[in-house]
């Protein structure tokens, strides 16, 4: 019932067929127009989708800022916070407590409280299709473009702040490439 209510009363950029949103999810009606949900998307309990609204008279883009393509599954207590654009391609899977954020709080003026300084310019994040993000993984982009290539795995509690190619296993803080998939051998190979 909650999903139907959201679909019919919130002005989402797109709300796909078969999408399910738990009643405990935190999505403001005022930012729904910046959120695009494909078909068969699932948002588990306590998921937070946040969009930093463009400033009045800003030249910021008006299109979707959070794009969850078909069959994305977001684990409980996960957060996605976008100022510019965060795109999850098809079949991206989150474990619980994943954080994806394309900006940060500004803190350059030490004479003012951080909460009064707004947010940084930020960047853009793309997580390509068929990726798996383990428990507590964090992906942050303070500037430029950050891309996680298709069929990659981000290990539990890893902190990713740069791009990685397709077929990667990424782990650690800061995250490093630990394995890649060898197409000829048809197996995951440790990186030196």
Residues serving a catalytic function are: 105
User: CA quadruple 72, 148, 192, 175: dihedral positive or negative?
Assistant: negative
**Distance linking the first and last C-alpha atoms of the chain:** 51
Q: Is the peptide bond before 174 cis (omega within 30 degrees of 0)?
A: yes
Q: Are 148 and 134 in contact (CB under 8 A)?
A: no
Distances (CA, A) of 110 to 76, 81, 120, 142: 35, 24, 15, 19
The answer to whether 183 and 162 are in contact (CB under 8 A) is: no
Tokens 């949103």 appear where?
21
Angle at 173 (CA atoms; ends 169, 179), nearest 5 degrees: 15
Which residue is it, tokens 């981000």? 154
């Amino acid at each position: 019932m909650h999903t139907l209510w959201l679909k019919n009363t919130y002005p989402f950029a797109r709300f796909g067929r078969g999408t399910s949103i738990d009643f405990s999810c935190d999505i403001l009606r005022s930012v729904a127009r910046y959120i695009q949900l494909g078909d068969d998307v699932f948002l588990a309990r306590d998921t937070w989708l946040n969009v930093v609204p463009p400033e009045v008279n800003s030249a910021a883009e008006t299109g979707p800022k959070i794009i969850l393509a078909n069959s994305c599954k977001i684990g409980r207590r996960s957060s996605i916070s976008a100022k510019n654009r965060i795109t999850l391609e098809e079949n991206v899977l989150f474990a619980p407590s994943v954080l994806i954020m394309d900006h940060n709080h500004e803190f350059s003026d030490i004479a003012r409280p951080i909460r009064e300084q707004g947010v940084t310019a930020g960047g853009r994040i793309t997580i390509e299709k068929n990726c798996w993000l383990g428990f507590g993984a964090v992906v942050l982009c303070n500037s430029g473009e950050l891309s996680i290539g298709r069929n990659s795995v981000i290990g539990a509690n890893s902190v990713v702040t740069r791009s990685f190619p397709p077929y990667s296993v990424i782990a650690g803080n800061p995250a490093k490439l630990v394995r890649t998939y060898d197409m000829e051998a048809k197996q995951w190979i440790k990186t030196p």
